[in-house]
Amino acid sequence: MEKVKISVVIASYNGAGFLVEQLESIRTQTMPPDELVICDDRSKDDTVQVAEDYIKKHDLEGSWRVTVNERNMGYADNFDNAAKQAGGDLIFFSDQDDVWNPDKIEIMTGIMSEHPECKVLCTDYIPWYTGENAPQAPKSVMDRMPDNGLLETVKLKKKSIYIGALGCCMCVRREFYTDISTYRFPGWAQDDRMWKMAQCTDGGCLILHRNLIKHRIHENNTSTYGKYHTVSRRVKLFTEMLEAEKQMLRYLEDNKAEKKEISLIKKHISMMEKRISLIKDRKILKIFPLLRYIPYYEKKKSYLVELYMTVKREKR
């Protein structure tokens, strides 16, 4: 059997304080990667120097490399930039401040070899809270990571569209990543895109329920569990979700998917358009047509939150 080439990509930004620990956990894997690509988004600290010094110290020049963006791209576009530079058959996404279990790559590569239908493989993680202001992972998030060793197939359903894994817990087949690149819009995070698009293929999205990384959670990392209880933030989030679902629909139609899958996405699109209209226009009557879409909400309480936001704004 031909050897599978493994790439790891890191989108770095002001990560000098944690980067070495993460690089060490990658270098010492039981199955080390064939290459590691670090794309730095014009850090203001010495992240680039730390990375270059580490690479030189361990004689990794050639297989490990650091590039610096000409401008600050933001984490989503920076990760996409890094992935496009990777030449491996499998691409592993890594945050700059986590620590991987020693056998993470070996375990995930083995599963990808056993399941050729899998396009994106995800795993569970252990939260690693750093700092006094680190937000706590919600109970709902922890409940979906049982760490029981089971392999779950994520099928396209009403609520599966909402991302259920972190990018730092994912690996993707480079061929698939390239295939879905034509459906990407600027700012669409790589993890959300891989999660959504992999479900548009048969058996394409799997989750291995094993904790394979210690995921550092602090007040500054991009995966912070934030709130969207302001109109501007909610509109921005919903607008991005709407565009993502339109791209899912385009992918499904291009690949001649089943009518039920296309119908499901169309209902999601209709729901998101109505939710955006509700909170932008402040028209309370627009809440009632959304009742039929409640099964498509990630959380039912969101309906009540948006009702409250609309009523509150109407009173002003």
Phi, psi of 19 (to 5 degrees): -60, -40
Please check whether residues 70 and 103 belong to one and the same domain.
Answer: yes
Mean pLDDT of all residues in the chain? 93
pLDDT score recorded for residue 169: 98
End of a domain among 186, 217, 248?
217
Name the domain boundary from 157, 192, 217: 217
First to last CA, the chain: 68
In this predicted model, which residue has the larger pLDDT, 284 or 94?
A: 94
Specify if 25 maps to a domain: yes
Q: Treating both helix axes as pointing N-terminal to C-terminal, what angle do 231-254 and 190-198 enclose, rounded to 10 degrees?
A: 40
Q: Is 203 left (phi over 0), alpha (psi -120 to 50) or beta?
A: left
Please check whether residue 1 lies inside any domain of the structure: no
Co-location of 43 and 65 in the same domain: yes
Could you give the dihedral angle defined by the CA atoms of residues 93, 16, 39 and 30, in that order, rounded to the nearest 10 degrees?
Answer: -40
For position 248, what pLDDT does the model report? 98
Question: Which range of residues forms the domain containing residue 107?
Answer: 6-217
Which of the pair, 226 or 310, is modelled with greater confidence? 310
Domain co-membership, 285 together with 177: no
d(CA 68, CA 78) in angstroms, rounded, equals 10
Lowest mean pLDDT among 41-45, 67-71, 139-143, 228-232: 228-232
Distances (CA, A) of 257 to 156, 202, 248, 265: 12, 10, 11, 11
**Residue pLDDT, tens place only, 134-185:** 888 889 999 999 999 999 999 999 999 999 999 999 999 999 999 999 999 9
Whether residue 248 sits in one domain with residue 149: no
Flag whether pLDDT at 260 surpasses 70.
yes
The SS3 assignment for 272 reads helix
Tens-place pLDDT, residues 195-221 = 999 999 999 999 999 999 999 998 765
- Compute CA distances 61 → 12, 192, 259, whole Å: 18, 32, 50
pLDDT value at 1 more than 60: no
- Chain segment 115-128, per-residue pLDDT in tens: 999 999 999 999 99
* % of the chain beyond a pLDDT of 90: 86
Amino acid at 266: K
Total count of domains within the chain: 2
pLDDT recorded at residue 98: 97
Residues 235 and 212 in one domain: no
Q: Are residues 124 and 256 in the same domain?
A: no
- Of 188, 217, 246, which residue constitutes the final position of a domain? 217
Task: Find the CATH number of the domain harbouring 191.
Answer: 3.90.550.10
Do the domain assignments include residue 70?
yes
Dump pLDDT digits (tens) for 245-257.
999 999 999 999 9
Nearest Cα neighbor of 243 from 198, 204, 192, 310 is 192
**Angle formed at CA 310 by CA 306 and CA 313, multiple of 5 degrees:** 135
Do 207 and 308 lie in a common domain? Answer: no
220-245: average pLDDT: 78
pTM for the complete prediction? Answer: 0.93
